[in-house]
Every structure is written in C-alpha cells, then in structure tokens.
Structure 1
Amino acid sequence: MNRWNIQEIAFYGIGDRRRTLKFDIGKVNVITGASGTGKSAIIDAIDYCLGSKECKLPFFVRNHAEAVAVHWVQGSRDLIVGRKIPKAGSGTSQMYVRTGRHLKLPAASAGLEGPTNRDVARALIEKAFGIQDAEDPVISLKSEKGRATVRDIPPYLFLSGDVIVSRETLLHDLNRPKKAPDIKATIPYFLGAVDQASVLAARVLRQLEAALTKIEREAAAKARSQSLLTERSMALLTQAQEIGLVVELPSPSAPDAVLLDQLAGVAGRGVASTDMRDSEARAVLEEDRRTIVSELQTLRGKRQMLRQTIRDAAGYETAVSAQSHKLRLVDHMKLDDGRCPVCESQNDVGQAMAEKIRSSLSIITREALAVDGIRPHLNDHFEEIESLIASKYNRLREIEAQLSGLVRVGEELGTLGSILQERARVVGRIDQFLETTAKDFQVASTDTAMLVSRIEDLKEQVDPQARRERLRDAENMVSAFATEMLTDLPTEVPATGSRVVFSSTPSLSLVEPSRRAVLAMAEIGSDQNYLAIHLALSFSLQKLFETIKAPVPGLLVIDQISRPYYPKGGDEKRLQEMEKDDDQVAMKQIVRFLFDETARQTGLQVILIEHAYIEEDPEYVAAVKGRWTKASGEKLIPSDWPVRN
C-alpha cells in the first residue's frame, strides 16, 4: 500500500478505559446504527487529530473521554497522533505525534508518546504525509496564503452530513468563510499544478517583491525629501543672488551636493561679497513658470486619454475572458469527430459549423493574448506620464519658492534699508539650513539591480502559464473521471447522462445531454442527484491524487449515503423499510459503486457511517465494523464510562 489509511481510532476514558475502532486497510468499512450513538463523531475525531484549532466532538464524548488517538499506516510505516480532549471550549494545544514502524496504540492515555505543541505536531504530520514545500522548519510553521498545510486536506477526506446532499457546498468546510480562502488558495498544490519547488519559489518571489516595494516606497519618500532639499536650496541661493552674494544661479537640475557646496561657499564668504545682483532673475523665473504650466496642461490631457484607454482595455479583457470561459465548455462537444455539434449528424454542414466554432475559439484566444501583451505597455506609459507630471509640479514649486524669496527680499530691503543687514540675515539663514535641515535630507541610495534580477529569475521559475496548463489538465482529468463515475450512480433528469465540468475555483457544473445546457449546482435539483455528484467528485479527486501521487491520504469518510431515502433520525434501518422499490434499487446501486470503485483504486480506504444495514448484500455485511443499535445499547463511548472530573 502506497497511501495512508487509518488502522485504528481509540478514545481514552478515566481509569485506563479505552474504546477502539478497528478498520480494514484499502477496503470499505461500515459502521451502522441509531442516531445519537456518536457515529458522526468519527469525522470530528479524525479532524481534531489533524491539528484542528477547534474541538467539535459532541458533549457526551467530551464529558466521558479525556483523549483520542488515530493510528495511520502506510505499508510498514506508522503514524500515531493523539490529543487531549477539553471538557469545553477550543481544542487543547498539547498533542502527541510518533512515527516509526510496528507502532501500537497505548492501552491508556498516559502511554501516548511524543508530546509537543499543536504547531509542531502539524508540521510533523505534514512531513509524514509529504506536504512539504520548504526545508526550513521555521518557514514551514508560518501560516501563509497559498502554502498547503495538513489543515487543507480535510475537504478531500470527508463527505460530512452537511455536504453530501448539499446544492451549494461542493467540499467539506468550503461553506466556512474562514476556511474557504485557504481551500481555494491551496487546491492548485493538491491538484499537482504547482510542485514543492515552485511553491517555495512563489513564496520567495512574494517576499522579494514585498521587499522591493518597500525599497521603492522608501526611495520615493527620499526623492520627495531630496526635492524639498532642492527647493529650499534654490530659494536661499535666489535670495543670495538678489542681494549680490551669488553671481549666477546654478541649474535647477544640478545635484544637491552642488547646491549645498555653493551655499557653503556663500556662508564662508559672509557679507563681504561684491554686489552681483542680476536684475533679470525674476523675469527668467516668470518665463520658466509659464512654460512649466503649459507643459503640465499638455501632460494632464495625455494622462486623461491614457486612463480612458486602459479602462477600455480592461473592459475588453474582462469580456474576452468571460467569453473564453464560457466557450471552454465547447471542449466537451467533440468537434473533431466530424459530426454536427447541434444535431450530432454526420454531414458537411455540421463539419463546417464545427470549423467555425473552432475558428471563433482561435480568434478569442488571440484577442486575449493581444490584450495581455498590450496592457503592460499601457501601464508603463501611464506611470511615465505620472512621473513626468510629478517632476513638473516639483519644479513649479521650486520656481514659486524662488519668486517668493525674491519678493520677500525686496520687501525686507525696503524695510531694513541696508544691504549689509540683509546679507547678514541671508547668510544666517544659510548657516542654520546647512547645520540643521540639510543634514536631515542626506541619505544613502540603495542599489536594487540584484534584487530586480533575482525577482525576474524567480518569475521564470514560477512560470504562471505552465501552472495554468497543469491546472487545466487536472481539471479535465477530474471532469472525465467524474463523468464516467456518474453513469454508475443512480440519478434523475437532468443529471442522467450529463457530463461533469469541474473547475479548481472550486466549482462544478453539468452539461445535460438533450440540449447541452450548462447547469450550475443550484439548478440541478434532487437530493439523489446531489448525492451522486458529491460521491463522483470525491472518488474522482481521490483517483487523481492516486495518479499524480499527491500528498493526500487515501481515505474517504462518508456520512450516510441513504440520506435521500430515509427520514432523519431513528434506529438502524433495513432495506425493506424504504417506501419505494426504486429507492431500494438506487441504494443497492450506490453500495455497489462504493465497493467496486474502492477496489479499483489502489490504496483507497472508505469508512461509511450509516443508518442502513443491508443484510441482502454479503459484502456489505462483511464490511460492518460495528452495529450501534438501540437494542444492543452499543455506542461510540460506552454508557457505563464515568463522567470526568
């Protein structure tokens, strides 16, 4: 056996009491009985020992059992996972994990070995199952979107009571808002679309991209600071020129170091400089201001046109993408068999129609690729325009500051009446600026060339196009498996004869055979149909996992396949208690499917929790591991167990 199965589940009570459930490896195992005997708690126990944060075990179990342990086996390998049961509240943090060969469950909870905390326990289970995408155990313990953990495998192991006939929920826990994002994020990993290396590369890529974003954000802040330094330096130099301390203003594009050196020269010479005022300085600045205002108007017009172009491209891309997704269903229309896709007859008109459909698909594909290629260039050009506008605004502020300085100097000269006094004031301002403000803006630049190069290398390694192709291949495989399995299960119109279309979003739809209408889950109707669909999907996913050697145990725990045929609650049911003969036939067909499909898949184990006891089927009777009926008084937790203190 090359997949993990469950050999035993043990519940421990006080006084060294132990209740053990034993299961056959690679086969169907059945536990039947009355409601309220604790059958459904088997799912809760397995989930709890897979490191769930919550403990969903029912009150009676919590009140009488102090620990639970699950014994997993894979060939000669053993994995025993135990956990203390709280009397109330969330799950306990203490767990027990032991791996090895020829291990056995202890007789009492005190014998559980390998005590550890929940996070480390989960990491050890992941290592045993093969859910490893990082060698660093510290990294593997971190919770990160897109990283698969042992908490992401229950949707593929359990067909619980709230899912098995649901018209809305496709997988276990998918209806829980806190769990759904993790299921959707990790399903590509379990479907084999990404491997361990690409998962790690994607994680490092996200970290480096975040680091680059931070550096760029800090660089932008520094650039703003440098712009302010330039603005203030030019304003002081303009004032110095106006009162004859500077012969000629430097270029506004001069490096800050040049500006600071010139200011230092003015401060060093003091007030003894010769009057070198340039009466045309204000006129030149006014002309520069008019030019920049005109350029800003032109750039803003270009930005508005480019923003509209990007918006139109995005809308077109969305429309093309939606149309492409709809036309994916044409993959199931067998356009290459030479028959008309509408009437299925063999004729030239049908072949021509099929050719037109293929041509349409090709056109849509090319248009989608064209949009994908144009969008980055549009975005880059938009960013260039934004950068130019920001640069022009910065220069405009510098000019206005210089003009304000000239005006202020003129006013102050009229008030002070002394050129020497004004020179002394300007030199004082420059000294204070150089001693305090300028030092705050002196920052070192960061070279991001190596970081950018590393990011580009990782993008090539992650290869999103190859990921999409592998994901689509897995979707097609599951769809084909499920379509074939659906024919072996009892269904009603419109599910009868329909093709299954599975998507990793995850979602599922049917293409009904008469009109080839595409039906969402909510449109299908009938508990019997929903039961068949969930069974077909669960077994199909397990078949894919077996094929691609995914790190998912070969286990399906199914809570009551007889839900569409028996009323809720009550004692163990017999086949003859079904009101309709058709229901009895359907029930037998489902049971046959379970045994036959389990036998066809290597290493698959099924634990069936049922009300029905089908004594007419010898294989079913042989698979029964417990009959917890009202007459026998047998339960998951014996009634004579004492209450915990």
Structure 2
Amino acid sequence: MTRWNVREIAFYGAGARRRTIEFDIDKVNVITGASGTGKSAIIDAIDYCLGSKDCRLPFFVRGHTVAVAVHWVQGDSDLIVGRKIPESGSGTNQMFVRTGKHLRLPNTSEGLEGPTNRDTARATIEKSFGIQDTDDPAVAAKSEKGRASIRDVTPYLFLSGGIIINRETLLHDLHRPEKARDIKATMPYFLGAVNQASVLAARRLRQLEAALGRIEREAKAQERSQGLLTQRSIALLTQAEGIGLIAELPSADASDQILLNQLRSVAENGVSTPASRDSETRAALEDERRQLVSELQTLREKRQMLKRTIREAAGYGTAVSGQSHKLKLVEHLKLGDGRCPVCDAENAAGLAMAEQIRNSLTIVADEVLAVDVMRPRLDDHFGQVENQIGSRSGRLREVEAQLSGLLRVEEESAGAGSLLQERARVVGRIDQFLETTARDYETSSTNTASLESEIENLRDQVDPQARRERLRDAENMVSNFATDMLADLPTEVPATGARVVFSSAPSLSLIEPTQRAVLAMAEVGSDQNYLAMHLALSFSLQKLFETMRAPVPGLLVIDQISRPYYPKGGDEKRLKEMEKDDDQVAMQKIVRFLFEETARRAGLQVILIEHAYIEEDPEYVAAVKGRWTKASGVKLIPSDWPNRN
C-alpha cells in the first residue's frame, strides 16, 4: 500500500468500554443503516482527530464517550491519533500521537500514548503524511498564504451529506469563509504546481518586489524634484543677496548641498537689528509705566484714607477733652465728703454721684491718652505715603520721557525699518523651505544591486510561468479524468455526454454536447447530475494525487450516494423500495462505479455511509462493515453505554 488508509476508529466510554470499527485497506467499506445511529459521526471523528479546532461529534456521542482514536496505516507504518472528547464547547487542546510499526489501539482511553498539544500533534501528522517539506518557521506560520497544513486535506477526503448533491459548493468546508481562503490558497500545492519551499520563495519575492518598487518610486520622485530644489534654492539666495543678508551668490555650478548649507547659514544668523532691541526696550518701559500708574493709584487711595482718619481722630480728641474739663468742675463741689454743698448736711446721694463722676473722668482720661498716642503715628505713616507718591511720580515722569524719546527714534528710522522687515520675511521663507520642502528632497540613496540580484534568483525559483503551466496541466488532467468518469455515472440532460472543465479557483463547469454551451455548476440542475459531478471530481482528484504522489491520504468518505433516490431519514432502504426502475438501475450503476474505480486506484480506500442495503450486489454485501438498523438496535455508540457524568 502506497497511501495512508484508516485501519480502525475507536470510541472510548466510561468503565473501559470501547467501540471499534474496522475497515479494509485499499477497498470499499460500507456502513449502512437507519438515521440517527451515528453513521455520519465517522466523518466528524476523523476530522476531529486531524486537529480541527471544533468538535462536531453529535450530542449523544459526546455525552457517552470520553475519547476517540483513529488508526492510520501505510504499508508497515502506523500512525495512531487520539483525542479527548469534551461534553460541550470547542475541541480540547490535548491530543495523543504515536508513530511506529505494528501499533495497536489501546483498550481504554488511558492507554493512549504520546500526549501533546494540538499544534505539535498537527505538525507530527503533517510530517507523517509528507505535507511539511521545509523547516523554515516563516512557512510554518499558518497565516502564510499558500502554506498547506493537515487541515487543508479534508476537502479531498470527505464528500459529506451537505456537499454531495450541493449545486453551489464544490468541496467539503468550501462554503465556510474562514476555510475557503486556505482551500483556495493551498490547492496549487496539492495539485503539484508548487511546493512548500516555493511558497516561502514566493513570499520573500513579494516582499522584495514591493521594497524595490518603493525605492524606485522614491528615486524617480527625487529625480523629478531635484531641478525644483536647485531653482528654489537659487531664488531664495538671490533674494537674500539683494537685501544684504549674504555678500554674493554661490557659483553657477554649486551643488545642491552647497546651496542648502548657505541657506542654513542665513537661517541660523537670522536678523539682529537696533530696531529689534529698541522694540524690546520700549516693551519693558511700557510694562514699567503700567506698573507705576497702578502703584500711584493705590498710594493715592491710601493717602486719602489716612487724611480722613486723621481728621476724625482730631475731632474725637477735641470732644473728649471738653468732656474731661466739664467733669473736673465737679471737683469744686466736694461731693466726696458726703455733705450737701449748699446746706452742708450729710448727703448719701451726693456721695454715689461723686463716685460715678470719678469713674467717667478715668475713662475719658484714658481716651484722651489714646488719641494723643495714635496721632503722631498716623502723621508719620501719612508722611511715608506722601514720600512714596513723590518717588513713584518722579519715576513715572522719567519713564514717559524715555518712551517719548523712543517714539521719536522710531519715527526717524521708519525708512530703515522697511529693509529690516524685508530681511525678516526672507529669513522666514528660507526657514520654511528648509523645514519642509528641502527635507522631503533629501532621501538617502540605496544600493539596489543586491536586492535586484536576490529578486532574480527568487524569480528563477518561483518561476510564475512554470507554475501556471503546471497548474494548467493539473487542471486539464482533472478535467479529462472527470469527463471520462462522468460518462460512467448516471446523468440527465445537460450533463449526459458533457465535458467537465475544472479550475483551481476552485470551480467546475460543464460543456454540454449539443450547443457547446458552457454551463456553470448551478445551471446544470437535477440532484442526480450534482451527485455524478461531485463523485467524478472527488475520484478524479484522488487519481491525480495518486499519479503525482501528493501528500493526501488515499481516503474518500462518502455520505450517502442514494440521496437523489430515497427520501431523507428513515430506516435502512432496499433497492426494490425505489419506485422507479430507472432509479434502481442508476443506483446499481453508481455502486459499480465506486467498486471499479476504487479497484483501479492503488492505495485508495472508500468508506461509504449509506441508508441503502444493495443485497442484489454480492460485492456490496461483502463490503458492509456494519448494519445499524432499527430492528437490530445496533448503533455507533451502544444504547446501554452510561452517560459520562
């Protein structure tokens, strides 16, 4: 056997339970029976053990099994791939991979060997199948367009139920956008037009060609702008020379670098003039004048307030002194001895009154003293404020005199100022030119000789023309194979006698024999025609893979060739249950095609999942590996297996 086939698939349940399905190598194998018995899960199990991200096994299978394993064989080489089954969600990251000779599936899931992560497992499978033929990490990156992985072989292995009579989708998973890109990108590799090394070379070639194109565009832009740079530089230097910023113009043959250096010198020196210094002095004097005016206003307000305070203090002192003199007159009445000053009789009321007058005299005396103490201080502070006002007023007169002098100087130098302003404008233009335009023109020169040499070498390796020719040759081979096979399959007009045209786009069309009209796949019509077209293409691709020794396993899993002839669902179907004799003949013809075409191919194994049990065909009966009917109660996962919980 020259190609990889599946020897066994094992499902592991709780309590050391194992359900194993064995298959014949290089032959057709049939699993037939009722709907809901788990037949289609065979595709899901193989796909899951080829490292798919998601686990698509049916709910019942996931609820009653804990792991699944696929035993691949090629000659005396064995490859066992196992994987834990999650109860829900996406697939587990842990896988089990073992390679060697004379390997056997373990009895329990605990016996699976070679635990590893999904990425490492996929890399091991790819190496076994011969997909990865370069060790370059850049090619190993899945994001690299055209780099094939184990996940890209599944469209050629499975003819699933949703595809086999589909009028629009050609291959398994091609209807999924996230998969379609990889299928299209890697098909040239599987058709033998490229190899993994040429994928890397093509990647590097695209990068270098883009870099060279960018350099060439920049060089052309620099060449176009060089004349403008010279013209603009000379124009600015001429303006600078005309207003005295430089002594003379550079020579006519001066390089652009010399011109730019002289412009930078003018920009760095700038324009320094008496006018600019006077302007700075005037600004400082104006600031000082505003400050002096503000201070004088504050001091004058303060002086006014002090004047008012001094006046009020003087009035208060006069009033208090008068009261003091009046109260002292009472002393002459001698009220303190307790007698009436008129009749000299003892008088208690006079004694109390004398005491009150003495207290009032004490208070008034204290107030007179306070006024006498504060008055000199107020007078002194008033004098200080008057001095500050005089000092600030004198400085203000000096500042205003200086400002008047500067104004006269500015009026006298108005003519000279226009020249200085022009110089400032020219320096500004030079600054802007150096900051923007000149900087854009200064691109570093790049030696493209080595780059061009590497591009030429890569073009020899990639050789796009040879790639196109190899791809066209592969497309023609598949088209011819499929045309011959379509003639052996039951079809209806317009597919009958038509020629198949296959493109690696990928697409499939027919050229009908009567008017030579080219029909897209969707235009052909009839489930029987779509079944025939899918079968012809799948077997044609397998024939090409065998011829060119492509790294694709010799496996084709087909889900129900009887779809155009039996209603969906139900129990196992017999040939005689078909209402039309033509359908019975067509079904037998398709079965013969499967067996005969598989026998012609070296290393091709077919696993046929079917409702139909064709007891009229002894070879079909002999190929049956399981009859899972309602009467027998046999299923992929036995009904008596306990729930994994």
Aligned position for 1:71? 71
Q: Distance in 1 between matches of 2:92 and 2:421?
A: 79
Structure 2 residue runs of 5 or longer lacking an equivalent are 274-412
Q: Deviations over 1:256-294 (max 9, x none)?
A: 532343235557988899xxxxxxxxxxxxxxxxxxxxx
Number of equivalenced pairs: 506
Q: Distance in 1 between matches of 2:557 and 2:17?
A: 26
Aligned position for 2:417? 417
Aligned position for 1:51? 51
Contact 1:123/1:140 (<8 A) preserved: no
Matched, 1:501 2:501: yes
Alignment of structure 1 residues 25-424 onto 2, 5 Å: 25-137=25-137, 139-212=139-212, 237-249=237-249, 256-263=256-263, 266=266, 417=417
Structure showing greater radius of gyration is 2
Aligned position for 1:349? none
Cα offset for 1:90?
2.1
Q: Distance in 2 between matches of 1:464 and 1:239?
A: 57
Cα offset for 1:75?
0.9
Paired AA for residue 495 in structure 1 = A
Q: Distance in 1 between matches of 2:98 and 2:200?
A: 27
Cα 1:424–1:189 shift into 2, 3 Å: closer
Cα offset for 1:243?
1.6
**3-state SS of the aligned residue for 1:179?**
helix
**3-state SS of the aligned residue for 2:564?**
coil
Structure 1 residue runs of 5 or longer lacking an equivalent are 274-412
**3-state SS of the aligned residue for 2:616?**
coil
Q: Distance in 2 between matches of 1:550 and 1:486?
A: 23
Cα 1:138–1:72 shift into 2, 3 Å: farther
Paired AA for residue 592 in structure 1 = R
Contact 1:2/1:74 (<8 A) preserved: yes
**3-state SS of the aligned residue for 1:73?**
strand
Contact 1:511/1:518 (<8 A) preserved: yes
Cα offset for 1:213?
5.5
Give the alignment's TM-score, normalised by structure 2: 0.71
Aligned position for 2:540? 540
Contact 1:271/1:420 (<8 A) preserved: yes
Aligned position for 1:561? 561
Cα 1:479–1:422 shift into 2, 3 Å: closer
Cα 1:37–1:253 shift into 2, 3 Å: farther
Matched, 1:575 2:593: no
Give the alignment's TM-score, normalised by structure 1: 0.71
Aligned position for 1:512? 512
Cα offset for 1:495?
1.9
Cα offset for 1:235?
7.3
Contact 1:565/1:578 (<8 A) preserved: yes
Q: Distance in 1 between matches of 2:268 and 2:484?
A: 90
Q: Deviations over 1:194-253 (max 9, x none)?
A: 234432321221232344456668889999999999899667635522322335555999
Q: Deviations over 1:310-369 (max 9, x none)?
A: xxxxxxxxxxxxxxxxxxxxxxxxxxxxxxxxxxxxxxxxxxxxxxxxxxxxxxxxxxxx
Q: Deviations over 1:33-89 (max 9, x none)?
A: 110111111111111222222221111122222222211111111122222222222
Paired AA for residue 523 in structure 2 = E
Cα 1:97–1:171 shift into 2, 3 Å: same
Cα offset for 1:643?
2.1
Cα offset for 1:180?
1.8
Contact 1:416/1:422 (<8 A) preserved: no
Aligned position for 2:601? 601
Contact 1:234/1:252 (<8 A) preserved: no
Q: Distance in 1 between matches of 2:136 and 2:269?
A: 62
The Cα RMSD (Å) is 3.5
Contact 2:139/2:147 (<8 A) preserved: no
Paired AA for residue 199 in structure 1 = V
Aligned position for 2:642? 642
Q: Deviations over 1:478-517 (max 9, x none)?
A: 1211121122222222222222222222222222233333
Cα offset for 1:538?
0.7
Contact 1:123/1:141 (<8 A) preserved: no
Aligned position for 1:480? 480
Cα offset for 1:110?
2.4
Cα offset for 1:567?
0.7
Paired AA for residue 126 in structure 1 = E
Aligned position for 1:336? none
Contact 1:170/1:534 (<8 A) preserved: yes
Q: Distance in 2 between matches of 1:552 and 1:213?
A: 38
